[in-house]
Amino acid sequence: MKFQPSAPARGHGALSVIATLLAGAAPTAAHASFLPPELMDKAATYLAWFILIAVPIAGIVLFWLVHILPEKIAHKRHHPQKDAIQTLCLLSLVFGGLLWPIAWLWAYTKPVSYRLAYGTDKADEYFEHMAEKARAGELPPAEMRYILDELDAIATRGAMSLELQHARTTIETAIAAATPAPLPPPAPPAAAAQGAA
């Protein structure tokens, strides 16, 4: 069997010759980048090494930073159980993050049972910090009285440490210094004193 071109293909011979000439005039090597191939290979090698080294380190750092967030939140909120929350965060690092949601929730909860037992829901460092602010004159008298009431509640439960006793005396001194001294009774007018004599 001989191949016979169809009738329409015979009439387009000139067009196929022109297309072949145009294809021959086009460049033979096409690049998808503005860089030469050697430089592109070198850039790909450096990028691969960067990804192999920097991405795991960044992932570990990010994992660690996320896992210490509950500890930072507990410290900021003066949570009295922040040491236990810190321990739970460290255990969460060991167990691949399984305990992290518990530490997160614990950092945001109000320690109601701690308040029932000790009379406050703040850590001792909170009262020491407030005593320093009271000594510096940065607390209004109403807030100092509120803190003093909380310290009195702690003292009635018998859970007053030496640091809290020192903070209490500091706040009492600051309240006494902030309260103006009573004015002496007014002196009798001079004219009334002379008229009586």
pLDDT range class, residue 176, cuts 50, 70, 90:
confident
Query: Could you report the per-residue pLDDT of 88-128, keeping only the tens digit for each?
Result: 999 998 888 889 999 999 999 888 877 777 777 788 888 88
Helix (H) or strand (E) segment spanning residue 153:
helix 141-156
Q: What pLDDT does 72 receive?
A: 94
Nearest to 157 by CA among 125, 119, 127, 120: 119
The per-residue DSSP string of 77-140 comes to TT-TTHHHHHHHHHHHHHTTTTTHHHHHHHHHS--HHHHHHHS-SS-HHHHHHHHHHHHTT-S-
Average pLDDT, the chain: 80
Domain range summary for the chain, segments of one domain joined by +: 44-109, 121-179
In angstroms, the CA 101 to CA 17 distance is 73
- Asked if 106 contacts 81 with a C-beta cutoff of 8 angstroms, the reply is yes
